[in-house]
Structure 1
Amino acid sequence: MTNTAHEDGVFEWGVADRLNALETIMWRAEVDPALSSTVLALEVLDCEPDWERFYAAHDWGSRIVPRFRERIVDGPAGLGQPSWVQDPSFDLDYHVRRVRLPEGATMRDALDRARDIAKVPFDRAKPPWQAVLIEGLPDGEAVYALKMHHATLDGMAGIQLVAGLHSRQRGPSGPKQTPPLPAAGSTSVVRAVTDQAGRDVRGVVGAVASVPGRLLRFGRPDKAARDLARYVASLQRVLGDSGAAPSPLLADRSTDWWFGALDVEFAPLRAASKAAGASLNDAFLAALLGGFRRYHEEHDVAIEAMPFAMPISIRKEGDPAGGNAFAAARLSGPVAEKDPVARMQAVGAAVRDVRSEPALNGVGAMAPALARLPGPVIAQLAGGLTKANDLQASNVPGLREDAYFAGAKVTRFYGYAPLPGCAAMIVLISHGDTCCVAVNLDPAAIKDPQLFGRCLVEGFTEVLALVPDAPAPVWRG
């Protein structure tokens, strides 16, 4: 196992004592059920792990990562930034469970069960996570579903966590250093509430140091005015309309989810991107847009472009592991472009443009103020941005080396992210030699998920056609 740990054995992950502003927004926006912020990591295991080792691994993990024994406590009157506090009644049996699928079950049944697990809201009086071992798959396989709240981690933080907690060998690795449980009451609810006033004052000071604050400093009023004007123009581009109208085919929305999974060989997809002078992310996005084009063609609906969003990591070298550090970019996807090379290049140019925007993290700059609003107001503001998107997509570099959990090898790793009012949330995580594509759909918007899955396969096939003899993508949904 590799991790960064103190001498006392505690894994340096998720050590902040309170939610940052973005995490606060995600925590509070859930007053609107459509803005659920549950994330679910789904690992396919080559065999059913030993239950005693599986359970013990979670006990050990909850000790070396104290975040797993902490719950979220809101600020006074539900305002301000919530704090992480130790749960004095932590019960591992509540968080770690196992289920067995009926005889003859398939991966489709496992995905449906994982979806059902993800859809159950968290008990906000307990640490926001749950681990479920799903057994009974063909050929002795099993599925490990780890459900967490997005306020705990983003995609990169999730990979950091997996890298730190998974083993590099199938057999037991010998005695592990296990830190003692935290002292009861080391972080109290009373202290969390009384500290809020001081944090609010510091938040105002921090706002002055933000990008807009720096632009307004005195000394060069003429330069400050020009810089502020450029920043405001950039903010309008970042937060404004992407330029693409939502698809009429995908207009309906619900609070339901549908999980699918797609496997694509990593090396051919990367080779295809290089053949087009593009990045792996460009190839991924171009393949998704090709799949959406084909789905629209199947329904005789023609669109030129579609609004989509993607997170861009703003995590810096030396930042603490865990938590969330990303900015959301809103773009227009060239759906009608049939040439995969031209589509990759167009998407790549759009992503580069938005990455260079001075106000890329404009929402982050405003987040401290937004986080101090009541939940219904936050939900209305956040929903106004996310529900205008037909697609949200994310590409997260995963583990390239073998990983094991309680004696079982992880053969696939899918990351299911929430649907914040959009029609589809699709996440690519590279695991070993495979790009594992997790597909979360709103079945009210995409009414034929299996047809959509076939269209996605065709979209990736278009891109992979740039590489001779590239293996075909495999739809596992």
Structure 2
Amino acid sequence: MTELDGRGWGGPARMSPAEALMWRAEGDLRTRSSGALVELLDTAPDWDRFLAAHERATRAIPRLRERVVEPLLPVVEPTWTEDTHFDLNYHVQRIRLPEPGTLRQLLDLAGQVTSRPLDPNRPQWEAILVEGLEDGRAGYLLKIHHAMSDGLGMVQLLGMAHSERAAPGGAHLPAMAAAPGGSPTRLTGVTPLSLVADRLLEGISDGPARLVGAAGQALGLLGRALRDPAGTVERAVDYSLSLRRMLTPPAAQRSPLLRGGGFGYRLTVHDVLLDELKKAGKAAGGSVNDAFLAGVLGAFRRYHEHFGQQVDHMPMAIPISLRDSSDPMGGNRFAGARFVAPLGEPDPAARIQLVREFILNVRAEPAIAFLDLLTPVLSKLPSPVLTELTAELTKVSDVQASNIPGLGHPVYLAGAKVLRMYPIGPRPGVTAMVTMVSYDGTCCIGVNFDPEAITDLELFESCLRDGFDEVLALGR
């Protein structure tokens, strides 16, 4: 058996400015960013084997045994360092549901687990085996902080930590190539004071090299400007206009029906066959992602119509992945886009076309990664100021939706077959977070919503089914 190499998962020890921003804003309920995964298993795995699988995974993927060290001053990004007091029994637990052990009971438990903060002094994840589900099944909850990984990085983690077959001798860890560029150096013995001291020494030792590098870049830009002055001006104007578009709030008011403002998490899930969603998107000239977003909008349109609310447009947020083959596994590499969503459009094909047009346009924006310029400054602000700014940026949308390409084959956890993988995203500032992960031919959709805004669960679940059914009918 080839051993798993997960040493590169999670990226460098020092957080990126964007990760530091998410980490430092975690203390406020409005900006909390921890997400989770709810898996349905065909049977309850043996507990000792389940623990052993997590033991091997945490040794093969060092980031799972690392905690975060904050510097004395926020001028330095937080850093991951080995947790010398790591206790697997703290992070991996098991719970038994009371009878009858329904999916609703599992989702209610998952909502409670996801909404509470992780211990900032320990590695930023926890896992729970949930026994006692109907028909002899079990549940698996994996909660992880967003500063550790985005959705695509979490899928990479699942691909490494799950088995592709039910190995009789224990969980099989599949072979995985090391991250591009090799494995990052793991840090030990880091303290809040040493972080600041190391950065000062780094500034002294690297100062001349950075000056030379900056001068070289400046000369390169000057050379290009002299060779093509008109093109340089045009690119600068294009970027400036693009930045303005990216920073301007959506030209749509928040729905009066989705302004609960509560902090509770209520979860629901829905399944759609991947092949059917592909056909539906293709029939309307769009993609799986376009069809997914059109289904989400159809669900919220029907929910508004039930209450007699005519809302033509809804402000919506969509993450855009910026990953390429050179990026390390795990970590975070995405940009946020805000969308004036056509909520009142009754034709699902027309919705798909409108969504597609927006996605293509936003991907072509020169300033799509503008947050890379802002986060180095924002992440160094005092936490109260940072939290308020982050809350202001996120509260302009009603719904956030994210589609994550998942695993195309069945996997096993300590011998139990995974039947479904439902992603549960955080909902900072929004009334509902709708996330979809494809798994073994099924699109698993998880919705995390504010129960003070969406008060009728059965009605909303019915609207969710109908919203996707009208989209799927395009491909039939």
User: TM-score by structure 2 length?
Assistant: 0.90
Give the AA of the match of 2:70: D
After TM superposition, the structure 1 = structure 2 runs for residues 33-432 of structure 1, keeping only pairs within 5 Å, are 33-172=29-168, 186-189=188-191, 190-197=193-200, 217-219=221-223, 220=225, 222-223=229-230, 224-432=232-440
| Residues 115, 203 of structure 1: alpha-carbon distance in 2 compared, 3 angstrom cutoff | farther
Give the secondary-structure state (helix, strand or coil) at the position aligned to 1:76: coil
**What is the total number of aligned residue pairs between the two structures?**
458
Q: What is the CA deviation profile of residues 317-366 of structure 1, one whole-angstrom value per residue up to 9, with x for unaligned ones?
A: 12111100101111111011111111100110011111100001111221
Q: What is the CA deviation profile of residues 211-243 of structure 1, one whole-angstrom value per residue up to 9, with x for unaligned ones?
A: xx9799434275444432221211111121222
Q: 2:290·2:356 contact (CA, 8 Å) conserved in 1? A: yes
Give the secondary-structure state (helix, strand or coil) at the position aligned to 1:332: strand
Q: 1:392·1:424 contact (CA, 8 Å) conserved in 2? A: yes
Q: 1:43·1:414 contact (CA, 8 Å) conserved in 2? A: yes
| Residues 199, 242 of structure 1: alpha-carbon distance in 2 compared, 3 angstrom cutoff | farther
Give the AA of the match of 1:262: H
CA distance in 2, matches of 1:292, 1:205: 54
Give the AA of the match of 2:97: L
| Residues 337, 409 of structure 1: alpha-carbon distance in 2 compared, 3 angstrom cutoff | same
Per-residue deviation at 1:412? Answer: 0.2
Give the AA of the match of 1:98: R
Residue number in structure 2 paired with 1:453: 461
Residue number in structure 2 paired with 1:471: none
1:437 is matched with which residue: 421, 445, 451?
445
Give the AA of the match of 2:106: A
| Residues 81, 280 of structure 1: alpha-carbon distance in 2 compared, 3 angstrom cutoff | same
Q: What is the CA deviation profile of residues 288-345 of structure 1, one whole-angstrom value per residue up to 9, with x for unaligned ones?
A: 0011100000110001110111111111112111100101111111011111111100
| Residues 460, 177 of structure 1: alpha-carbon distance in 2 compared, 3 angstrom cutoff | closer
Per-residue deviation at 1:205? Answer: 9.4
Q: 2:281·2:475 contact (CA, 8 Å) conserved in 1? A: no
CA distance in 1, matches of 2:220, 2:447: 44
CA distance in 1, matches of 2:208, 2:26: 26
| Residues 316, 198 of structure 1: alpha-carbon distance in 2 compared, 3 angstrom cutoff | farther
Per-residue deviation at 1:191? Answer: 3.7
CA distance in 2, matches of 1:197, 1:176: 45
Per-residue deviation at 1:68? Answer: 0.9
| Residues 33, 296 of structure 1: alpha-carbon distance in 2 compared, 3 angstrom cutoff | same
Give the AA of the match of 2:135: D
Give the secondary-structure state (helix, strand or coil) at the position aligned to 2:95: strand
Give the secondary-structure state (helix, strand or coil) at the position aligned to 1:197: helix
Identity, % of aligned positions: 43
Per-residue deviation at 1:446? Answer: 1.6
Give the secondary-structure state (helix, strand or coil) at the position aligned to 2:474: coil
CA distance in 2, matches of 1:164, 1:388: 37
CA distance in 2, matches of 1:454, 1:463: 15
Q: 2:402·2:436 contact (CA, 8 Å) conserved in 1? A: yes
Residue number in structure 2 paired with 1:20: 16
CA distance in 2, matches of 1:300, 1:2: 59
Give the secondary-structure state (helix, strand or coil) at the position aligned to 1:218: helix
Give the secondary-structure state (helix, strand or coil) at the position aligned to 1:267: helix
Q: 1:75·1:196 contact (CA, 8 Å) conserved in 2? A: no
| Residues 46, 175 of structure 1: alpha-carbon distance in 2 compared, 3 angstrom cutoff | closer
Q: 2:41·2:419 contact (CA, 8 Å) conserved in 1? A: yes
Residue number in structure 1 paired with 2:180: none
Moved more, 27-36 or 342-351: 27-36
Per-residue deviation at 1:188? Answer: 2.3
Structure 2: gaps (5+ residues): 175-184
Give the AA of the match of 1:188: V
| Residues 216, 295 of structure 1: alpha-carbon distance in 2 compared, 3 angstrom cutoff | farther
Per-residue deviation at 1:105? Answer: 2.1
Give the secondary-structure state (helix, strand or coil) at the position aligned to 1:328: strand
Give the secondary-structure state (helix, strand or coil) at the position aligned to 1:77: coil
| Residues 84, 185 of structure 1: alpha-carbon distance in 2 compared, 3 angstrom cutoff | closer
CA distance in 1, matches of 2:202, 2:433: 34
RMSD across aligned positions (CA): 2.7
Give the AA of the match of 1:218: L
Structure 1: gaps (5+ residues): 469-477
Q: 1:80·1:371 contact (CA, 8 Å) conserved in 2? A: no
